[in-house]
Amino acid sequence: MKKTAFLILLVSFILSSCTRQNPQNYNELIAEARELYNAGEYEDSGKKYSEALESIADNDSILHRYEAAQALAMANQKDAAFDQLFEISEKGRFTNLGKISSDKDFHSLSTDERWMKVLSRVSENKKEAEAFVPGVVSILDTVYREDQYYRQQANDIREKYGHDSEEVRAHWELINQQDSVNLIKVKKILDEHGWLSSNLIGRKGNSALFLVIQHSDIDTQEKYLPMLREAVEKGNASPRDLALLEDRVALRQGKKQIYGSQIGINEETGEYYVSPLEDPDNVNERRAEVGLGPIQDYVANWDIIWDVEAYKKKLPELEAME
């Protein structure tokens, strides 16, 4: 198989159908299936996953099919479980051999001859993927270091010279220059290969993709936000990273953020604040859904004391400031 053709298959296993046909109902079914699984109701969970996957034509969610296979295997519905596993290994080019081979949920399948066929296919996918990864990993390792190097110095410079000082402005010019160089590299990778998972490029490489897009201009963020959403649905990126990008894009579009990840600074006083936030009362529920900790712990990093009632009263002022 040509490398280009393989890469297209590997990184283009996209969930576009989920956004075309009643995604709200689909997501509700998936949520119900997960709840049933967590409650140990594996047979009902498997049925709910199947209902969700069948509700949308050409559903290509690797993550959800993997979860469905877990539930079905735990319910001892081997044929249905293998149907999902062959789908993600053959069509989805699933590569995480370590995960699937050690997953205790699949213990009931291990004596079936089809199990070795699944593992063999995943192993082949992994080898084919690793054939092109080293060069990309090296590039992203450098990008990650360069993205973080100057930013790690920024706080010290701000504290020493003041947030509106010439030294701070000069330092951010260096950061912006490096961001431009990094963005060229990352856009090339994303445009050619898609949003590659940590399985292929490591956690640092996966983080580098996110950090560079998170630090880019609004047009670039809007371009790659759908790609990141799809990567999260496929299990190829972190929901927490997506939450941060969703918040940043929303604010730049003149909307309120959803997860409270973006912190502003009052140029006159130098005080930090939580940028305009939608439905502050329930922000911790939304944060928990994507793996973020309580907002009161998060904002404490900027010496902000979270008081939801006080925040709601001040929200109009913050919106005007933004």
Looking at per-residue pLDDT, the higher value among 215 and 202 belongs to 215
pLDDT for residue 40 is more than 90: yes
Q: Which amino acid is at 92?
A: G
| 8-state DSSP, 221 | H
pLDDT, tens only, 241-255: 999 999 999 999 999
pLDDT for residue 15 is more than 90: no
Q: How confident is the model at residue 4 (pLDDT cuts 50, 70, 90)?
A: very low
The pair of structure tokens assigned to 321 is: 């400031």
Looking at per-residue pLDDT, the higher value among 36 and 197 belongs to 36
pLDDT, tens only, 100-129: 999 999 999 999 999 999 999 999 988 877
- Give the pLDDT of residue 130: 73
* Average pLDDT estimate for 33-51: 95
Looking at per-residue pLDDT, the higher value among 23 and 121 belongs to 121
β-bridge mates for residue 274, sequence order: 263
Q: HSE of 82 in the Cβ direction (CA atoms, 13 Å)?
A: 17
pLDDT, tens only, 62-103: 888 999 999 999 999 999 999 999 999 988 778 888 899 999
* Average pLDDT estimate for 6-12: 33
Please tell me the distance from the alpha carbon of residue 104 to that of residue 123, in angstroms, as a whole number.
18
Q: 65, 290, 93: which is closest to 200 by C-alpha?
A: 93
Q: How confident is the model at residue 150 (pLDDT cuts 50, 70, 90)?
A: confident
pLDDT for residue 277 is more than 80: yes
State the pTM of this model.
0.64
> Which run of H or E residues covers position 264?
strand 263-265
**Angle of the 166-193 helix axis to the 218-233 helix axis, nearest 10:** 50
CB contact set of 217 (below 8 Å; sequence gap of 6+): none
Q: Is 306 left (phi over 0), alpha (psi -120 to 50) or beta?
A: beta
Residue 60, judged by CB atoms within 10 A of its CB (0-12, 13-18, 19+), counts as buried
- Give the pLDDT of residue 21: 44
Q: How confident is the model at residue 216 (pLDDT cuts 50, 70, 90)?
A: very high
Q: How confident is the model at residue 204 (pLDDT cuts 50, 70, 90)?
A: confident
Q: pLDDT > 90: what percent of the chain? A: 63
- Strands annotated E in 27-162: none
pLDDT for residue 11 is more than 50: no
Looking at per-residue pLDDT, the higher value among 134 and 154 belongs to 154
CB contact set of 322 (below 8 Å; sequence gap of 6+): 251, 264, 275, 276
The most distant pair of C-alpha atoms in the chain lies apart, rounded to whole Å, by 69
Question: Average pLDDT over the chain, rounded to whole?
Answer: 87
